[in-house]
Amino acid sequence: MSLSNALAKTSPDLTSRSIAYFSMEIALSPSVPTYSGGLGMLAGDTLRSAADTCRPMVAISLTHRRGYFRQILDAQGQQTEADVPWSPETTLPSANKVISLTMQGRQVLVRAWRFDVVGVTGHVIPVFLLDTDVEGNDEWDRRLTDHLYGGDTYYRLCQETVLGLGGVALLRALDCKPSVYHMNEGHAALLSIGLLEEHLAGNPLREAQEIDLEAVRRQCVFTTHTPVPAGHDQFGLDQMYQVLGHDRGAAIEHAGCLHNGLMNMTYIALRFSRYVNGVAMQHGKVSQLMFPDYKVHSITNGVHAGTWVSPHFQELLDAEISNWRTDNQYFRSVYGIDPARISACHFKGKQRLFDVLAKRTGHHFNPSVLTLGFARRVATYKRASLLLEDPARLVAIAEKIGGLQILYAGKAHPADGAGKSLIRDVYAAAARLNSSALKIHYLENYDWELGALLTQGVDVWVNTPRRPYEASGTSGMKAALNGVPSLSVLDGWWIEGCAENVTGWAIEDAETEAAEAANLYEKLEKHIAPMYANPAAWSRMQQHCIAINGSFFNTHRMLAQYVCNAYFPFPRLADAASPSVPVNEPAVQTLLNEPALA
Ligand SMILES: *Cc1c(COP(=O)(O)O)cnc(C)c1O
């Protein structure tokens, strides 16, 4: 995708935009480094679907002039990081507005760049990337919108202040007055304080009454994205008062948004939203237990089909199924396509992946050998090494089934020492185990392009999170759209997507990691390899993945659910107090007893 999309001369009409989508990160284009992983991809896919299906949306994020980071791995798998600088001024039109924000006891000027997400229909979703690198600002403030998830908590709180308060102010300066504000994760929660300031029109915030808070709540929707306690930003009260000032800080306290004596972005978002949801059915239930004072709904994530379906499949779909780009329900019609053609398309994606692998690394993988893919942010709960738990067994399986290839990828957060050591572990295992039967390779710098190549090219997508920490997961959905089944722990979206032996396989829950790994090996040896050896059965499974899961786990469906459940709910839905469904299982109880949040 080229940036030329973004250079449309005329600004779309902003006065008619009724939904404002706020997100700390948004993956807008492979060449714009404004995202780190799943959250930003989801935000970008949401906007791409909004553009394709003509939704009246506008979006706010930060410029992130130095990006997240490019991952460099040495021969031992030791990760180092490099900035990814980019230059919005040479690629994007300016919003032509500068607003001034009072924070840290001084004025901070904020401007914005406009990235237009253009749908297949021609409909445009304008995204405003806020930028504090403005002449006249304090030198430190000029760097505030540079590093996605960089810096300390003070830097982060300043960024979230720019995002929430700056975003609302910019929309007003642009004469844009949406009726719905969607906080995509707690980072954006301070938009509620911006709306409260506007509602009180100059009166002190700390005197806000319940009726004033209600006026803000009527406009706000909040999606929470992780049950991992460390994923919920919190700040000390000294920082809150330093950055936001006395009046806003006192208002946050008076509104009851502190949690355990800290300013907690999730609790601000909860308090100021009329609709709250988790990102898969189970995640909604787990979040309901975490936040028992609030009603938590569920809307299961999806991915943007036009972005993630391989070029070869796009060609096939364009030839066989018109309108799939605007209406993803047509993916069900894949049952009308000969499974052998589906397999042939997938095989081209596999060859393409291995060509890139050879070019980048000099490693040659064989396209007729069963290949597993495992790529995701490296966090301990994702358990990248479960697949390597019993190396002898893995080698024995590889020898028995005629060979096995495994491709890994994933970045660890620069400050996550435990995550970084997991990458070295995979490197060490690969060095020990690589043989004629088993090939393991860890690819550097997992990003949009590599994510697409992998989900379009491997045969089976593996996911091994510790339950119930995977809120949703979306890479397995990208795989499904390309006819790639998953082998995964029943967590997140896979609880909804797994039809055993039809769309993939579940790694069954067990007492110990060793027992879970044993179950994984058994599925591989007894179910997956035999089916892979039977091309007719395998291609039928590829067809099921697309027809059953592709037709549901897409952002066209997801966004339609946001529209009718969250943004513009049917009148009776808005008030219906549906009883929450209990989740009584040990894994959830363990999570609830973790410190940071509970
Ligand atoms: C899709 C995607 C993710 C999120 O996938 P998960 O299944 O949630 O791990 C992360 N990073 C990149 C580069 C992606 O394309």
- For the stretch 25-83, pLDDT in tens is 999 999 999 999 999 999 999 999 999 999 999 999 999 999 999 999 999 999 999 99
Checking if the pLDDT of 582 tops 80, the result is no
Checking if the pLDDT of 6 tops 60, the result is no
Q: Atom 8 of ligand 1 has which residue's CA nearest to it?
A: 473
Give the pLDDT mean for 217-227.
97
Residues 6 or more apart in contact with residue 339 via CB below 8 angstroms: 536, 539, 540, 542, 543
In order of 243, 369, 421, 568, the CA distances from 19 in angstroms are 28, 48, 42, 10
Label residues 69-93 b or e (16+ Cβ within 10 Å = b). Answer: bebebeeebebeeeebebebeebbb
Residue 264 has a pLDDT of 97
Residue found under tokens 């979206």: 493
What count of other Cβ atoms lies within 10 Å of the Cβ of residue 319? 10
Find out whether the beta carbon of 475 lies less than 6 Å from any atom of ligand 1.
yes
- Rounded to the nearest whole angstrom, what is the distance from the C-alpha of residue 451 to the centroid of ligand 1? 7
- Rounded to the nearest whole angstrom, what is the distance from the C-alpha of residue 144 to the centroid of ligand 1? 26
Q: Atom 9 of ligand 1 has which residue's CA nearest to it?
A: 376
Q: Taking the domains of the chain in order of start, what are their residue ranges? A: 2-273, 305-552
The CATH number given to 2-273 is: 3.40.50.2000
Q: Atom 3 of ligand 1 has which residue's CA nearest to it?
A: 38
Residue found under tokens 């480094």: 33
Residue 219 has a pLDDT of 98
**What percent of the chain clears pLDDT 70, i.e. is strictly above it?**
95
Instruction: Identify the band that residue 385 occupies on the pLDDT scale cut at 50, 70 and 90.
Output: confident
Residue 384 has a pLDDT of 85
Q: Atom 13 of ligand 1 has which residue's CA nearest to it?
A: 447
Instruction: Identify the band that residue 592 occupies on the pLDDT scale cut at 50, 70 and 90.
Output: confident
**What DSSP designation does 554 have?**
B
Give the pLDDT mean for 158-185.
98
- Rounded to the nearest whole angstrom, what is the distance from the C-alpha of residue 246 to the centroid of ligand 1? 39
Residue 7 has a pLDDT of 46
What is the third-level CATH fold of 305-552?
Answer: Rossmann fold (3.40.50)
Find out whether the beta carbon of 330 lies less than 6 Å from any atom of ligand 1.
no
Checking if the pLDDT of 574 tops 70, the result is no
Q: Strand, helix or coil at 558?
A: helix
Mutate to test the pocket of ligand 1, among 453, 456, 472, 474 (most ligand atoms within 8 A of CB): 474
The C-alpha atoms of residue 474 and residue 184 are separated, in whole angstroms, by: 16
Note whether 186 and 266 are within 8 A (CB): yes
Closest atom, ligand 1, to C-alpha of 382 = 9
Residue 2 has a pLDDT of 41
pLDDT, one tens digit per residue, over 224-256 is 999 988 889 999 999 999 999 999 999 999 999
Residue 571 has a pLDDT of 80
The C-alpha atoms of residue 524 and residue 460 are separated, in whole angstroms, by: 10
Mutate to test the pocket of ligand 1, among 463, 475, 484, 489 (most ligand atoms within 8 A of CB): 475
Find out whether the beta carbon of 376 lies less than 6 Å from any atom of ligand 1.
yes
Find out whether the beta carbon of 447 lies less than 6 Å from any atom of ligand 1.
yes
Q: What's the whole-model pTM score?
A: 0.96
Residue 588 has a pLDDT of 82
Find out whether the beta carbon of 38 lies less than 6 Å from any atom of ligand 1.
yes
Of how many residues is the chain composed?
A: 598
Q: Atom 4 of ligand 1 has which residue's CA nearest to it?
A: 38
Are the folds of 2-273 and 305-552 the same? yes
Checking if the pLDDT of 9 tops 60, the result is no
Residue 573 has a pLDDT of 62
Give the pLDDT mean for 103-120.
98
- Rounded to the nearest whole angstrom, what is the distance from the C-alpha of residue 83 to the centroid of ligand 1? 20
Checking if the pLDDT of 419 tops 60, the result is yes
- Rounded to the nearest whole angstrom, what is the distance from the C-alpha of residue 463 to the centroid of ligand 1? 11
Checking if the pLDDT of 8 tops 70, the result is no
Residues 6 or more apart in contact with residue 319 via CB below 8 angstroms: none
Mutate to test the pocket of ligand 1, among 376, 407, 553 (most ligand atoms within 8 A of CB): 376
pLDDT, one tens digit per residue, over 125-134 is 999 999 999 9
Residue 589 has a pLDDT of 78
The C-alpha atoms of residue 393 and residue 383 are separated, in whole angstroms, by: 18
Q: Atom 2 of ligand 1 has which residue's CA nearest to it?
A: 38
- Rounded to the nearest whole angstrom, what is the distance from the C-alpha of residue 377 to the centroid of ligand 1? 7
pLDDT, one tens digit per residue, over 484-521 is 999 999 999 999 999 999 999 999 999 999 999 999 99
Checking if the pLDDT of 576 tops 80, the result is no
Closest atom, ligand 1, to C-alpha of 477 = 7
The C-alpha atoms of residue 187 and residue 156 are separated, in whole angstroms, by: 9
pLDDT, one tens digit per residue, over 522-534 is 999 999 999 999 9
Instruction: Identify the band that residue 590 occupies on the pLDDT scale cut at 50, 70 and 90.
Output: confident
The C-alpha atoms of residue 128 and residue 22 are separated, in whole angstroms, by: 10
Checking if the pLDDT of 261 tops 50, the result is yes
Closest atom, ligand 1, to C-alpha of 474 = 7
Mutate to test the pocket of ligand 1, among 28, 29, 41, 458 (most ligand atoms within 8 A of CB): 41
Average pLDDT, the chain: 95
At how many degrees (to 10) do helices 417-433 and 391-400 cross?
A: 50
Find out whether the beta carbon of 451 lies less than 6 Å from any atom of ligand 1.
yes
Find, among 460, 359, 340, 343, the residue nearest to 407 by Cα.
460
pLDDT, one tens digit per residue, over 266-298 is 999 999 999 999 999 999 999 999 999 999 999
Instruction: Identify the band that residue 1 occupies on the pLDDT scale cut at 50, 70 and 90.
Output: very low
Residue 222 has a pLDDT of 98
Q: Which residue has the higher pLDDT, 8 or 434?
A: 434
